[in-house]
Amino acid sequence: MMAKKFKGGNLDDFLSAGEAEAKFGPQRYASVYDDLRTLEVKQEQTSKEREYSKRVYEALKGQLLFDHAFLSACGIAITWSFCGLRSVQSYVVGALLGGFYLYLSQRSADSFGAQSVDDVKGGPPSLIVPVIMVLLIAKNPEQLNFLPVFAGFLTERISTVVQAVYPSDFGIAEAQATDSS
């Protein structure tokens, strides 16, 4: 049988659409609403997880800088006990450069997930600190010793390894992270 023309299409197409409406009716709108609600819940969950991760990361950064300062102070005391003033000064310079290296590394890590150009933290790359260290030693060989400067600089590596001792969430509960936001 030939399909009759109906305004803008075939009558058979119109009847198929009517059958689909009768079969699925208002339920198709309910499923769309459920999908939207599920998507909204997932976005809310992702937002909470992102906030929690940000709080844990900030705690990690603070703990890393504190550990570097503490280990540097211990290293200065040990160097003072066994070596002369020139070695202590060299160790202090190396520890300061190590702290600067940590700071620059944290700034570059903060810029990693930037959503816009405004979120990107500017400044020199952290790789410039070892170059400065070598240039300082080469420029001032009578005032700085290489090994104490290098040992002071490596204090930042030791403080990074020490982070393995702490719990992965730094004692921040997820409920605590979402309550205070």
> Which of the given ranges, 14-18, 45-49, 69-73, has the highest pLDDT on average?
69-73
In a domain, 26, yes or no: no
Which pLDDT tens digit goes with each residue over 48-82? 888 888 898 899 999 999 999 999 999 999 999 99
Could you give the percent of the chain with pLDDT greater than 70? 72
Kindly state the average pLDDT of the residues 71-98: 95
In a domain, 38, yes or no: yes
Tracing tokens 């730094």 back to the chain, one arrives at 170
In a domain, 81, yes or no: yes
Q: 123 near 35, Cβ under 8 Å?
A: no
Domain assignment of residue 142, given as a range: 34-165
pLDDT band at 21 (very low <50, low <70, confident <90, very high): low
pLDDT band at 39 (very low <50, low <70, confident <90, very high): confident
Q: 72 near 98, Cβ under 8 Å?
A: yes
In a domain, 29, yes or no: no
**Strand stretches in the chain, DSSP E:** 5-6, 9-10
In a domain, 179, yes or no: no
In a domain, 4, yes or no: no
- Average pLDDT of the chain to the nearest whole number: 81
pLDDT for res 95: 96
pLDDT for res 40: 77
Q: How many domains would you assign to the chain?
A: 1
CA atoms within 13 A on the CB side of 10: 7
| Distance (Å, whole) CA 10 – CA 61 | 68
In a domain, 177, yes or no: no
In a domain, 52, yes or no: yes
